[in-house]
Every structure is written in C-alpha cells, then in structure tokens.
Structure 1
C-alpha cells in the first residue's frame, strides 16, 4: 500500500462519518480515527507487523478510544501517591542521554534539583531539554529510551522528601 492509497483511504473515512476504521494486510496495519463532534480531526497510525501474525481485518465503526502510545506506560499504584509525577510537556521521542555516546542524565535513585535536565525530547528535529521543576530523588523511570511520548504522558516518579 503506497502513500496515495493511504491518503485516499483517510479521505474516504473522513467523508463516511465513521469514527474508526482498522485495516490489516500482510505487511501493514492501519488505524484511522476521526473525532466525533470535533472539527473533522483525523489520526492515522501506520505500523509494520510481523508476517506470522498478519491477518486481514476490516473493522466497522466503533466508539473512539483513547489512543495508546507505542511505549508501555506504568500506572502509578496507590502507594506511589506520595510521589510527584513529571510529565512530558510535548509530543516527541524520549531520550535518556544527550547523545548515544554520552551517559544518561539521571538514573533511579539519583537526587535531582530544580532546573536539572532529566531527559531530552526530540520534536520535529529539535531536541528539547526537559528540566525538573522540583527537587527530590528519582524513584522510577516510566518510559523506555528512544520511545515516542505523548503530551502529558508520565515520564518520571520523584520522591520530593
């Protein structure tokens, strides 16, 4: 499936009024979601899938669910309520190091201060330093290195005490 076929599929789904359509072929999986009651917003997810797991499925319109990110996000258990969650201020790719040959900014157990750089998020070829707004100790890193992150996605758990 080439880009022109994908674009025409997006236009067709937008005009049809369907809220979500999924299409899987031997080598590609496409999910197209359009917002109900919103101003014709469109989201397209294209993902390569292994040949062994390939199946052909065309879904009928179903209720829109919150989009899931490719990186697993650990939900904070009740005992973690005393910790502060540092969240992503932008959409992009999360990096724990300033460069591949450099050490990570922070590790679990490290003490951090206000203004310390915790990670870098790449958005549109720009690398944005993400600084801590609080002082404390890193309890958990919730995102894998080089993973895509969404706006407001939890990145770190910090013990402020």
Structure 2
C-alpha cells in the first residue's frame, strides 16, 4: 500500500462518520481514529501542586475538582512534635539497599545529622539527614512511594 492510497483511506474514513477503522494487509496494519462532530473527547489530568500560592489568579481554572490531599496529622495531638519534610521531589526509600536494614524505625532515637531516608531524584540517591535530635514518633510515607517537595515524612518528638 503506497502513501497515496493511505491518504485516500484517511479522507474516506474522515468523511464516512466512523469513529475508528482497523485495516490489516500482509505486513501492514493501519488504525485510523477520528472524532465525530458533536462528540468531544476530554481527558483530565489532576496533579497535586506543592503550593496553591504559586498559581496566578488569572491562570486559575473556572472550576476545580476536589483532590484528596494527603492526610495530615491532627494539630492538637501532635502540637509538640516536629515534622521533617521532603526537601525534594522523588521516590522515598527507608533503607539504603533492598538487602540492608531500615535507616530508622518508630521509637528509635535520632541525633542531628543521622540519615533518616533516601530520596531518589533523576537517578541520584539523596540522603536526608535529621536537623534535630529526638525520637521518631511516626513515619508518614510508605517505602518506595513518590514524594513531593515539602511533603511531611516523619514526626519527631524533640524532648
């Protein structure tokens, strides 16, 4: 099948009102998809943004579908805990290698400078170190999960 025949087939399918045509001949497979007039195919992608303040007012969409945010710890119960947040976007790992032990566990005491986890970003493994001393109260992210910038990772009791 030459290029001219393929172009004629495309024009024929577009004018016929058919949504999709599949044609298989010897070593050639052709699929032609068209959009019918009056029907609109719409795909919506929802992306969690790190901050709502970063959106300019003029660029904000007219209607925003509610997006389920990551559950945050209750303020009253965890008021004296310090939250350690992700400094970068990437994949969160609780251990340095699959066959190695976890960096930290709930209840473990940590010191300033201790490695808490690793976040992989663009094939680079970044060690996330503690900026405070204390005890790990809660780990807020599952191992091998994607994390966003400024996303809470750990709750630490500094006392």
Structure 1: distance between partners of 2:100 and 2:116: 14
Matched, 1:75 2:72: yes
Matches within 5 A, 1:93-112: 93-112=91-110
4+ residue segments displaced more than 4 Å = 64-68
Deviation at 1:74, TM superposition (A): 3.6
TM-score (norm 1): 0.60
Matches within 5 A, 1:1-161: 23=43, 31=45, 37=56, 62-63=63-64, 73-77=70-74, 78-161=76-159
Question: CA offsets, 1:134-156, max 9 Å, x none?
Answer: 00000000000000000000000
The 8 Å contact of residues 117 and 130 in structure 1, kept in 2 or not, is answered as yes
Q: Which has the larger radius of gyration?
A: 2
Structure 2: distance between partners of 1:22 and 1:102: 46
Match of residue 32 from structure 2? none
Pairwise CA RMSD of aligned residues?
Answer: 2.9
Structure 1: distance between partners of 2:113 and 2:58: 38
Structure 1 unpaired stretches of 5+? 1-20, 24-29, 41-59
The 8 Å contact of residues 87 and 156 in structure 1, kept in 2 or not, is answered as yes
TM-score (norm 2): 0.61
